[in-house]
Structure 1
Amino acid sequence: MSHWIIVPVLLPLFTAVLLILLSGRRTLIRSLSLLSATALLATSMLLLGQANDGEIRLYALGNWLPPFGILLVLDRLSALMLMVTAVLAFFSIAYAVRGNDAPGDKLHAMVHFLLLGVNGAFLTGDLFNLFVFFEVLLISSYGLLLHGRGAERARAGLHYVVLNLCGSALFLIAVAALYGVTGSLNMADMADKVRQISPEDAPLVATAGVLLLIVFGLKAAIAPLYFWLPRAYAAASAPVAAMFAIMTKVGVYTIVRVYTQIFGNDAGNVADLAWPWLWPLALITLVLGLLGALAARELRIQIAYLVVVSVGTLLAGIALNTPAALAASFYYLVHSTLICGVLFLLADLILRQRGELLDRITKGPQLRQSALLGALFFIAAIGVIGLPPLSGFIGKLLLLSAAGVHLETALLWLIVLAGSLFTLMALSRSGSTFFWRTDSRIEQAPAADKGALLAVIGLLLCILAISIHAAPILAYTQALAQQLLEPQAYSEAMQVFRVIERN
């Protein structure tokens, strides 16, 4: 049993506690926060390499064996999600330590508590502990959203908190119902029990499954449950908004994990519970996200709606439920998470040089570093639109190729291609307004911090890297999809683990 699996949970936990104890010593706090993020990145790379051999690794806390103990599971999917989170966290914290974590010194501790919840959600093999880690990341996100005060953040935070409290209540009800029927909370063990449920218990289990889909849909910002996201993300500080780019992917991850492993093809009376719902909801989410991006009058609102668009695109691929579509979807997930993080950080650099206009998409003064910021915005826009040669184009092309040309997927082709056009129109309007349609005067603002610029450029280089190395990444996601669509492998791994630990 490798102890490396628990490091992504313990490292941010100990870091967050230490940062709280160091309150007031800002330089030390920033250094330790960035050092911990670097260590998390290195650990995630190690775990990704281990998971690439295809073995499902289990870790029982306190050596309490499943289904009673707390179990962590490392497979290709969880390792990939840990890696994406670590990359995004490293550059977001690198941006924050350059003076973008004011006011106060509590932001770093809350970020690491958020990482604790996110990493725990990706690694847990237990449905109740998924609920626990959800609560950890949500409580952290409440504090991060309100960090810096302000009436706008308070309003956005209130909506966010109330909706997620309702979601948490539904989550607990669903978990209790499933435990009452199956007598287990371990996902692999529960999957075995769900396959054998009687027709009399099937309606209750199906109801619990639908409640979970509502909860995960709220976390993922699926239509019509996405309306909290634009204002919440736009109101957050730049490094927080960039970190929040992974939050919707936690919802997407849990949908994939639960509805392939517990309610998958071989789940008996409740097989394929989510897929009939996901397809239309994904397309509706795509359309509404695009309309929101077109109508947005502030750059951060526009980017927030592009997060919704990325969720719709991801879920459309997942709803196809084929190995090729899942592989394309997870390649696109890596791209969309990082590119949205880049855009939130870049929007902050732009608004700092526009005076009182901030990020409102209206004619204003010239930016002090118009050429540099314009070039970075152009590259990021190409990535999020899906133009060649960057990974957004590769991801969308793979997704459409996996969908094929059939009557039911023709609508996906239409929406994705039209969506790229609409995104091009929206970002062209923003870019031309910020960098071309300007007054003759130059806003008297300080130049962008070099460290903050390096964080933005570093994330853009990551986008370039996943474009250049698309072939090995796609090979990984193809193997990931095959592993995900064989849920019995998790039950077999758990049985082998029990025998080894008992001996």
Structure 2
Amino acid sequence: MHLMILPVLIPLFAGALLTLLYGLSMRQQRALSLLSILGQLLVALLLMQQALSGDYFFYQLGNWQPPFGIVLVLDQLSAMMLLLLAGLALFSTLYACVGDDRKGAHFHALIQFQLLGLNGAVLTGDLFNLFVFFEILLIASYALLLHGGGRERSRAGLRYVIMNLVGSAFFLIALGVLYGITGTLNMADMAVKVQQLPAADRPLIHAAAALLLVVFGIKGALLPLLFWLPRAYAAAAAPVAALFAVMTKIGIYAMIRVFYLVFGGEDGIHLSLWQWLWPLALATMVIGAIGALGARSLRGLTAWMVIVSVGTLMAAIAEASIPALASALLYLCHSTLLTATFFLLADLVQRYRPGPRDYFVTGARVRHPVLLGALFFTAAVAFAGLPPLSGFISKVWLLSSVTSFWGYAVFWPLLLASSLVIIVALSRAGSALLWRQSKQEPLQAKAPASATSLVVCLLTLSVLFSVLAQPLMTFATSTATQILTTERYLHAIPLGGGL
């Protein structure tokens, strides 16, 4: 099972080589970076093949037995996230090779370190190492956000750094409390010991769990901790923003992993927190839809669409049922790929409209309006949830997974209303970018064919999601069942006793 350590080692060594061999030509840097990502994609596919058996696999670094040593754990959820990360990184890096990677130093090294943090975060079975991998990916993201320079990126980066530093401080406090009470930071060991704690320690456990909810809420952009995201994502370079589309989903992944496993016992600590999560998630969805309606550029609109997807996901997770969690997992993959597509599409529009760029203002006619219009229309249909693409399938499944009265009375209307608002916002954007044009001659600007091809390939994935809907839904249901059956996780990890 040494295969499990490769998603961590490959980007680590690739990033180190790219940093040490900074004198390499850009072509050589690109080749090394893409070779690393292709290796990670191959490993992710092999790990997914193993995870489909439904078993848990673990890797002990240095052969130290848990809970004393560092352990990596593979199941269907982590395999799914690894595959999503590698695929998205491949498209983002290929798009950056069109020219964006030349606008700043160490771009490809930073991409590798970002992947190191992301891959480690989804594989680790230890809360402290989750914190460590979070810090690695955040440090890389700080530099990536500033890639290319500019006042707007510097301002957005400052807010981004401050919010995440606050989140990191809260994370450390929560870890200190949990370690002081349970004597361990291994997730499986902690899950066992949390259930054995006396009643006097319960308030501290609830406080630590609430702090973790705040931390993951910052990472995932949950109301009221979301206002750093629109400016940061809209200001980032297109391939960086496309990769950042998965960053909020890592916060949601951590929420699923930690709360269902560590705090998902008989006393239901996670259920008491879900009572707060559900209304906040619905409010996040509403704020995201309002922000999308008021956006002034396609990049800004896409950033607010990320927030809408976050609210939708967290509301489904708070339902705490297998159908709701399974539909959320399918929607997670769909929304991540579509928002990444929109960030790249916004850059494509900007290349065809170098004057007004992707802002919703009247500009000169663009060349190839039919091509741009077809790409925009397909992406809009997919994200808004109109048939027959993946957005429709995932949202119908989300709606059908609701079983409670408040789900029917509140979640249904808000999800449908937010979808309608997104349709209006996207229609307004398409009209401003591709329809309301002046009578000036078409601009001579032209986007590289490779950039356009990458956007087409990402949109093709949405079509494949629709074609393969049944097996994907089966896999999502199996993954949700595995997540909620925490006893299997606890029995799969050999524990030699706490500290």
Q: What's the counterpart of residue 123 of structure 1?
A: 123
Question: Runs of 5+ in structure 1 lacking a partner?
Answer: none
Q: What's the counterpart of residue 11 of structure 1?
A: 10
SS in 1 for 2:358: coil
Q: Does the CA-based 8 Å contact 1:16-1:113 persist in structure 2? A: yes
Q: Does the CA-based 8 Å contact 1:323-1:478 persist in structure 2? A: yes
Matched, 1:69 2:69: yes
Q: Does the CA-based 8 Å contact 2:7-2:40 persist in structure 1? A: yes
Q: Does the CA-based 8 Å contact 2:365-2:443 persist in structure 1? A: no
Higher mean C-alpha deviation, range 366-375 or range 341-350? 366-375
Q: What's the counterpart of residue 219 of structure 2?
A: 219
1:86–1:271 CA distance, 2 compared to 1 (3 A): closer
1:442–1:386 CA distance, 2 compared to 1 (3 A): farther
CA distance in 2, matches of 1:43, 1:494: 22
Q: Does the CA-based 8 Å contact 1:206-1:273 persist in structure 2? A: no
| Displacement of 1:457 | 1.2
CA distance in 2, matches of 1:414, 1:442: 45
CA distance in 2, matches of 1:442, 1:385: 33
| Displacement of 1:404 | 3.5
Q: What's the counterpart of residue 142 of structure 2?
A: 142
Q: What's the counterpart of residue 235 of structure 1?
A: 235
CA distance in 2, matches of 1:270, 1:318: 15
CA distance in 2, matches of 1:226, 1:175: 23
The letter of the residue matching 1:162 is: I
Q: Does the CA-based 8 Å contact 2:145-2:240 persist in structure 1? A: yes
Q: Kindly provide the CA deviation profile for residues 258-284 of structure 1, in whole angstroms up to 9, marking residues without a partner as x.
A: 110011142x37352421111101100
| Displacement of 1:451 | 1.3
Matched, 1:287 2:289: no
SS in 2 for 1:101: helix
Matched, 1:422 2:418: no
Higher mean C-alpha deviation, range 407-416 or range 184-193? 407-416
Q: Kindly provide the CA deviation profile for residues 343-368 of structure 1, in whole angstroms up to 9, marking residues without a partner as x.
A: 00010010122223122111111112
CA distance in 2, matches of 1:272, 1:261: 12
CA distance in 2, matches of 1:153, 1:238: 12
1:390–1:256 CA distance, 2 compared to 1 (3 A): same
SS in 1 for 2:58: strand
SS in 2 for 1:66: coil
Once superposed, which parts of structure 1, at least 4 consecutive aligned residues long, lie more than 4 Å away? none
Q: Kindly provide the CA deviation profile for residues 319-356 of structure 1, in whole angstroms up to 9, marking residues without a partner as x.
A: 10100111100001110000000000010010122223
Q: Does the CA-based 8 Å contact 2:355-2:363 persist in structure 1? A: no
Q: How many residues align?
A: 496
| Displacement of 1:373 | 1.2
Q: What's the counterpart of residue 388 of structure 1?
A: 387
Computed over aligned residues only, the root mean square deviation of the Cα atoms, in angstroms, reads 1.4
Q: What's the counterpart of residue 324 of structure 2?
A: 325
Q: What's the counterpart of residue 247 of structure 2?
A: 247
Q: Does the CA-based 8 Å contact 1:125-1:187 persist in structure 2? A: yes
Q: Does the CA-based 8 Å contact 2:292-2:301 persist in structure 1? A: yes
Q: Does the CA-based 8 Å contact 2:260-2:270 persist in structure 1? A: no
SS in 2 for 1:159: helix
Q: Does the CA-based 8 Å contact 1:44-1:86 persist in structure 2? A: yes
1:23-422 alignment runs, 5 A limit: 23-24=22-23, 25-266=25-266, 268=267, 270=269, 272-404=271-403, 406-422=405-421
1:199–1:40 CA distance, 2 compared to 1 (3 A): same
1:271–1:282 CA distance, 2 compared to 1 (3 A): closer
| Displacement of 1:104 | 3.2
CA distance in 1, matches of 2:367, 2:469: 36
| TM-score, reference length from structure 1 | 0.96
Q: Does the CA-based 8 Å contact 1:110-1:144 persist in structure 2? A: yes
Q: Does the CA-based 8 Å contact 1:292-1:302 persist in structure 2? A: yes
SS in 2 for 1:440: coil
| Displacement of 1:411 | 0.9
SS in 2 for 1:364: coil
Q: What's the counterpart of residue 456 of structure 2?
A: 457
SS in 2 for 1:58: strand
CA distance in 2, matches of 1:443, 1:196: 71
SS in 2 for 1:11: helix
Identity of aligned residues (%): 52
Q: Kindly provide the CA deviation profile for residues 40-62 of structure 1, in whole angstroms up to 9, marking residues without a partner as x.
A: 11111111111010110000101
CA distance in 2, matches of 1:305, 1:444: 29
| TM-score, reference length from structure 2 | 0.97
Higher mean C-alpha deviation, range 229-238 or range 92-101? 92-101
Q: Does the CA-based 8 Å contact 2:126-2:187 persist in structure 1? A: yes
The letter of the residue matching 2:112 is: H
Q: Does the CA-based 8 Å contact 1:353-1:443 persist in structure 2? A: no
| Displacement of 1:491 | 1.3
CA distance in 2, matches of 1:193, 1:442: 71
SS in 1 for 2:493: helix
CA distance in 2, matches of 1:52, 1:442: 55
CA distance in 2, matches of 1:420, 1:406: 21
The letter of the residue matching 1:463 is: S
The letter of the residue matching 2:463 is: L
CA distance in 2, matches of 1:162, 1:271: 28
The letter of the residue matching 1:226 is: L
